[in-house]
Structure 1
Amino acid sequence: MFRTLLPVLLALASFAVQAAPRHDPASLQTLAEHPYWISLGHYQRSLLGGWRSYIDDPAFFLAADGERLPLAELQATLESLHADPALGDDHVQCRYPSRTRWLRDQLGLTELPAVECAEYDTWYADIDPHSTVLVFPDAYLNSPSSMFGHTLLRIDRADMQGNGTALLSYALNFGAMVGEMDNSILYAWKGLAGGYPGQFSLLPYRDKISEYSSLENRDLWEYQLDLTPEETGRMIEHVWELRQIRFDYFFFDENCSFRLLELLEIARPGLRLTDQFPLTAIPADTVRAVKEAGMITEVNYRPSREKELLARAEPLDADELRLARALAADTRLLQGSACQALPAERQALVQETSYRLLRYQAVNRERDPDNAARSYELLQAINRNPPPRLEIDIPPLPEDGHESRTWQLAAGTQDHLAFAEYGLRMAYHDLNDNLDGFPLGAQIELGKLRVRQYEGNHWQLEELGLISIRSLTPRHALLKPWSWQVETGLERVAGKDGRQQLVGHLNGGGGFTWQLGDGLLAYGLATLRVEHHPDVAAKLSPAAGFDSGLLWRNGAGNMLLEAQADYFHNGEVRRRIGLTQQLELSRDLGLRLSAQRQFSQWANPQNELMLQLRWYYY
């Protein structure tokens, strides 16, 4: 009889040892509302009260309602911490090391069973986190996903400090999981609407360097943070908990930068970085927030491969540029008369330009033996006749640019009718805005509202812009990028009987931009437009047209001279010519003078003159 009962008694004894102790409900409620527990669950206050986690993956939560109830998730975690150690890597102590450590410290859980977490221990030892670098790949004009810039974290080991081996570090990145067939326009739309899931990834930093500085031609800014080894380790500990866990991804708020701010709050409890971004989280703004928190100790700049190529090619004349392009295609020309006739110092510049062009063209392509052979031959020529060291001026820091949200106050006249205009733009930058920290020719605007008050106290909604993107990337003798634009929203246009009508529209276009001089761009785009006009019988009115202009960076600011035309299927022709000059009063203050003349078959030509004060405040 005793032998029969012995296994049962042993099982009951084992259960008694492993059972979770009872804790005071009031203490658990206090812990569940502790800022650190809220951070570990990525909770936020919902609009209707209570909590909601940013994490949209049920696999992250132990409690059925853990996404909404931090207390339920805490209780489920406490119960699971005492589970059978034989679970090994599947034990909650192994799956959630951050939760385990924090609850052990808060509640003095000395009786927890000892669990061997082989998978986690190996992973953590391989990363060996010691210090953290915030990396900002700068804006890249020809990709809508990159026109805001991006942020990621570099995790360095202790033995990598100061020895130049940062490429062996790990990159901690949060990004959208994009379908292979999604084009740029679809990516922009789905990114705005939350159509992509987002995930954290941890991979060698050298891979990210290749992706951003070579594949996407983006400058890199590296900001050394003052996180201690303990704080860096605490952050990586939590990253383990987020493996394969999905978040919703949105371009303007729940994006790469916002997610990394959450991790920094895990690393250093008490930081209030995410609170500063309730609506939008523009990467440059988040870098500014980290800087203002006093966390940056050093800044390092890495120019992109494209910038290095163009900087090396800058001293070359037109004939030398043609020769450099020809050499990249046929290195036998190294012994040709055109190359041999050049002075040695000019040959050196041409040869290195050709080599950089060849390596630039090879990026993101399968290895080509012929390309490799030409690269090697050019490299040999460079070794025999080396050019001077390439010096690239460091541009203004991206976080030193203007704030992203803009208030606008204007006064003007429209055909002798005076008006005041009040405007707000949620984000981010247009072609005329203060330029420091931004590339010339880039525009991306979100949530633009303009309301006018005419004489006689007549109020009118002038524009409600959802999104406007323009990428004016100049062509070069060596590189031939496209320029493009897309815009949608509501705006006022000419209607019948001289009335102004509010129409919904979607338009876009593509073409080319040319660099005419230092800070002077000329562009020409073919455009397509679709709109819903109340005065037209058809629900949708299509039009083809053009958009052309000059963008000049001058001593006062940016000036834009632009001519546009739309030719509608119903015979209507709509044209506009405008001139706008921004005066940069300070980093976050601008004064804008604009004049335009509009033509339409439905109304007399209309002239408008406006003076606008722009305050960049958030």
Structure 2
Amino acid sequence: MKRIFPYLALCTWITAHAAPQMPAERLDTLAADPYWIALGHWETGKLGGWRSYVDDEDFFLAKEGPGNPGAELRATLEALYQPASLGDQHPQCTYPARTRWLREQLQLTDLPQPPCSEYRAWYADINPHSTVLVFPAAYLNSPSSMFGHTLLRIDQPDIHENNTAMLSYALNFGAFIEGSDNSILYAWKGLMGGYPGLFALVPYRDKLKEYSRLENRDLWEYRLNLSPEETGRMVEHVWELKQIRFDYYFFDENCSYRLLELLEIARPGIELTEQFPITAIPTDTVRAVKDAGLVESIDYRASREKELLARAEPLDSAEQQWVLRLAEDDRLLDAPEFLALPAPRRALIQDAAFRLLRYRSVGEERTAASAGRSYRLLQSINRNPPPTLQLDRPDLPEEGHESRTWQLGAGTREDRAYAEYGLRMAYHDLNDNLSGFPLGAQIEILQLKLRQYEDNHWQLQRLDLATIRSLTPRGDLLKPWSWQVAGGLERVLGEDGDERLVSHLNGGVGGAWQLGGDALGFALATARIEHNEDFAPFVATAAGFNTGLLWHNPVGTLSLEAAGDYFHNGEVRRRLSLNQQWEISRNLGLRLTAQREFSQLAAPVNEVMLELKWYHY
């Protein structure tokens, strides 16, 4: 429905209530007020003036409203004096946040009184009292959740007394996707603003069900110190944004950025969005909210996966096989060989089997068979309860290193010395400072490295568009695949012994295994597509491998890797590498890199570099 009323101007002089004549200076001052700017989601344009993030003309009352806060304020003031007979279509009912603010600023005591029954019933049902910022941890196997996600939970007044969090409402901003785009198209359209973004305020339990993977991801809940009035102020603005479209971009105008705008409306005067002129990564926005003094307390809820693995950790291999068997056939609870086990061990096995069933059920329709197995296991657990599961809270995600990285290195390649300068936009690799990140996870977006040799020869060393690696250990109970994908420009050995800048796309899949508490071993089969001037075909393909060891040690993280590519044209390229990072501070690291490259086209080449990494948003 268009929110522009064709008879708006006419009503200013024929209705019983006409908009008061306000001094132009007063209206100009209000139009420049930060709160009015926040209500219209305006920002200063690149070439001056204003532009609104809202990409939907239905949001504005003035034709020039998207680029003129003053015109929109005047149009709103006139619209508020429309006849009350308009009912729920009255601008006061459509724009409750604007109405409240203008009434307070201009002492508008003679406004018409439309019933706004639809809005009032909606607001009463939500009954906003307090706000919780919810951060589900990063999930590499989902393109939209690789960096984590943020949403707001709106709680009622009795949340603590009655433990009714599941009856709360979730306030979420996300891409609206029609149809079923594949992961590649999804990523491309998300990067280029190909999806509209919409706000939604839905029951929290429904949001958890919609994001079924949330149950298998660590969940952090940051209770904010917003007052009931501030929470209500935010919710009334959400009504104004109902079905209003924004352009959605993964890296800046995303879920986290839009929620920061709402918090600025809840508490006028705080400045959150201006900290993110280029990218808005969820962990960075959580850190900004915390630094602004908005966080009152923090709660942690471990994922089902983490709880399952913690319960199974004290079980030996034979006992974990019992877990698998019981999860498939609850009749084995009465098997003599199972009953022969000591009662404390049976208690652990039964509980782990029940948790495995719950883990497998996420995202699947509940069946009578699975429900029956769960019930039988619960009965057995009640007869022989295990000890309470104790889980240590991991490092807070916002206390990890910041997302953008500046890099300065010095090294030698055979007998040539060089300096290397780099910038990575986001946000973590396998060797980076580990606190707040899982071991074996890597997401790098837009990394540039320039090299300056001692004869003042400069060259582009690499330009990585994206490098993603997920090394998740396999075990007796869970057997996830590990995988990697990367694309961009990089230097490789050439025919004349020099380096060639080639474009490439490569990926791999395989497995990773836990080697003690702080080490992973991994092995992946890989495939590569490359454009190389030394090769006759425009595009060359290769099959290969990537294997290695990752160890988080007392000073940092060490990786040892061996990789090879076997091209269809006969070229064979292999690489051995060692990386050790010393974690100097949260946002400072020192890394030693040593590698030896082999190629059919040239003699082996050795390279050593010492690199300083400064993590700075």
Normalization by structure 2: what TM-score? 0.95
Deviation by residue 1:216-248 (Cα, 9 ceiling, x = unmatched): 511111111111111110000101111111212
The alpha carbon displacement at 1:579 in A equals 0.7
Q: How does 1:598-609 map to 2 (within 5 A)?
A: 598-609=597-608
Deviation by residue 1:460-507 (Cα, 9 ceiling, x = unmatched): 111111211111111121112121222122111222212212222222
| Contact preservation (8 Å) 1:426, 1:448 | yes
Which residue in 2 is equivalent to 1:137?
136
Q: How does 1:197-276 map to 2 (within 5 A)?
A: 197-210=196-209, 217-276=216-275
Superposed CA RMSD: 1.8
Give the Cα separation in 2 of the matches to 1:36 and 1:12: 27
Give the Cα separation in 2 of the matches to 1:202 and 1:286: 20
Give the Cα separation in 2 of the matches to 1:168 and 1:610: 55
Give the Cα separation in 2 of the matches to 1:159 and 1:177: 33
| Contact preservation (8 Å) 1:214, 1:305 | no
Unaligned runs of 5+ in 2: 1-9
Which residue in 2 is equivalent to 1:7?
none
The alpha carbon displacement at 1:531 in A equals 2.3
The alpha carbon displacement at 1:123 in A equals 0.4
Letter of the 1:121 partner, please give it.
R
| Contact preservation (8 Å) 2:253, 2:280 | yes
Which residue in 2 is equivalent to 1:395?
394
Q: How does 1:517-532 map to 2 (within 5 A)?
A: 517-532=516-531
Which residue in 2 is equivalent to 1:556?
555
Which residue in 1 is equivalent to 2:481?
482
| Contact preservation (8 Å) 1:213, 1:220 | no
The alpha carbon displacement at 1:14 in A equals 8.1
Secondary structure, aligned partner of 2:143: coil
Letter of the 2:583 partner, please give it.
E
Letter of the 1:408 partner, please give it.
Q
Q: How does 1:300-319 map to 2 (within 5 A)?
A: 300-319=299-318
Secondary structure, aligned partner of 2:591: strand
Letter of the 1:279 partner, please give it.
I
Letter of the 2:195 partner, please give it.
Y
Which residue in 1 is equivalent to 2:16?
17
The alpha carbon displacement at 1:158 in A equals 1.2
The alpha carbon displacement at 1:586 in A equals 1.0
Unaligned runs of 5+ in 1: 1-10
| Contact preservation (8 Å) 1:137, 1:212 | no
Letter of the 1:186 partner, please give it.
L
Which residue in 1 is equivalent to 2:349?
350
In structure 2, the CA distance between the partners of 1:127 and 1:85, relative to structure 1 (3 Å rule), is: same
Which residue in 1 is equivalent to 2:126?
127
Which residue in 1 is equivalent to 2:93?
94
Which residue in 2 is equivalent to 1:408?
407
Secondary structure, aligned partner of 1:543: strand
Secondary structure, aligned partner of 1:17: coil
| Contact preservation (8 Å) 1:133, 1:222 | yes
Give the Cα separation in 2 of the matches to 1:295 and 1:256: 18
Bigger mean CA offset, 99-108 vs 172-181: 172-181
Which residue in 1 is equivalent to 2:145?
146
Give the Cα separation in 1 of the matches to 2:614 and 2:130: 37
Give the Cα separation in 2 of the matches to 1:130 and 1:35: 24
In structure 2, the CA distance between the partners of 1:49 and 1:21, relative to structure 1 (3 Å rule), is: same
| Contact preservation (8 Å) 2:401, 2:433 | yes
Deviation by residue 1:527-582 (Cα, 9 ceiling, x = unmatched): 22222223334332222222221111111111111111222232222211111011
Deviation by residue 1:154-175 (Cα, 9 ceiling, x = unmatched): 1111122354222211111112
Give the Cα separation in 2 of the matches to 1:250 and 1:265: 20
Which residue in 2 is equivalent to 1:74?
73
> Percent identity between the aligned chains?
66
Which residue in 2 is equivalent to 1:114?
113
| Contact preservation (8 Å) 1:409, 1:614 | yes
Letter of the 1:365 partner, please give it.
E
Deviation by residue 1:381-402 (Cα, 9 ceiling, x = unmatched): 0010000001111101111111
Secondary structure, aligned partner of 2:360: helix
| Contact preservation (8 Å) 1:511, 1:523 | yes
Which residue in 1 is equivalent to 2:37?
38
The alpha carbon displacement at 1:512 in A equals 1.6
The alpha carbon displacement at 1:259 in A equals 0.8
The alpha carbon displacement at 1:302 in A equals 0.7
Deviation by residue 1:236-291 (Cα, 9 ceiling, x = unmatched): 01011111112122221111111111000000011111111111111111111111
Deviation by residue 1:168-208 (Cα, 9 ceiling, x = unmatched): 11111112223553343433333222222221111222334
Q: How does 1:574-593 map to 2 (within 5 A)?
A: 574-593=573-592
Give the Cα separation in 2 of the matches to 1:151 and 1:293: 17
Q: How does 1:454-493 map to 2 (within 5 A)?
A: 454-493=453-492
Which residue in 2 is equivalent to 1:164?
163
Bigger mean CA offset, 179-188 vs 279-288: 179-188
Bigger mean CA offset, 162-171 vs 239-248: 162-171
Deviation by residue 1:2-38 (Cα, 9 ceiling, x = unmatched): xxxxxxxxx9998242332333333322222211111
Give the Cα separation in 2 of the matches to 1:30 and 1:592: 53
Letter of the 2:309 partner, please give it.
L
The alpha carbon displacement at 1:443 in A equals 0.8
Letter of the 1:376 partner, please give it.
Y
In structure 2, the CA distance between the partners of 1:26 and 1:13, relative to structure 1 (3 Å rule), is: closer
Deviation by residue 1:305-355 (Cα, 9 ceiling, x = unmatched): 111111111111101111110111111111113311210000000011111
The alpha carbon displacement at 1:108 in A equals 2.2
Letter of the 2:459 partner, please give it.
Q
Give the Cα separation in 2 of the matches to 1:112 and 1:613: 63
Letter of the 1:503 partner, please give it.
V
In structure 2, the CA distance between the partners of 1:234 and 1:183, relative to structure 1 (3 Å rule), is: same
Which residue in 2 is equivalent to 1:364?
363
| Contact preservation (8 Å) 2:134, 2:152 | yes
| Contact preservation (8 Å) 1:214, 1:306 | no
The alpha carbon displacement at 1:416 in A equals 1.6
Normalization by structure 1: what TM-score? 0.95
| Contact preservation (8 Å) 2:587, 2:614 | yes
Secondary structure, aligned partner of 1:486: strand
Q: How does 1:405-444 map to 2 (within 5 A)?
A: 405-444=404-443
Give the Cα separation in 2 of the matches to 1:125 and 1:271: 27
| Contact preservation (8 Å) 1:448, 1:465 | yes
In structure 2, the CA distance between the partners of 1:42 and 1:423, relative to structure 1 (3 Å rule), is: same
Aligned residues: 608
Give the Cα separation in 2 of the matches to 1:581 and 1:165: 48
Secondary structure, aligned partner of 1:253: coil
Secondary structure, aligned partner of 1:579: strand
The alpha carbon displacement at 1:213 in A equals 7.3
Letter of the 1:145 partner, please give it.
S
In structure 2, the CA distance between the partners of 1:179 and 1:522, relative to structure 1 (3 Å rule), is: farther
Secondary structure, aligned partner of 2:67: coil
Secondary structure, aligned partner of 2:144: coil
Bigger mean CA offset, 340-349 vs 197-206: 197-206
Give the Cα separation in 1 of the matches to 2:472 and 2:12: 73
The alpha carbon displacement at 1:444 in A equals 0.7
In structure 2, the CA distance between the partners of 1:321 and 1:184, relative to structure 1 (3 Å rule), is: farther
Give the Cα separation in 2 of the matches to 1:71 and 1:506: 50
Bigger mean CA offset, 291-300 vs 260-269: 291-300
Q: List, as ranges, runs of 4+ consecutive aligned residues in structure 1 with deviation greater than 6 Å.
A: 11-14
Bigger mean CA offset, 83-92 vs 430-439: 83-92
Which residue in 2 is equivalent to 1:3?
none
Give the Cα separation in 1 of the matches to 2:60 and 2:234: 19
The alpha carbon displacement at 1:509 in A equals 1.9
Deviation by residue 1:84-118 (Cα, 9 ceiling, x = unmatched): 22221111111111111111222222222111101
| Contact preservation (8 Å) 1:545, 1:565 | yes
Asked if residue 569 in structure 1 is aligned to residue 565 in structure 2, the reply is no
Asked if residue 290 in structure 1 is aligned to residue 289 in structure 2, the reply is yes
| Contact preservation (8 Å) 2:405, 2:614 | yes
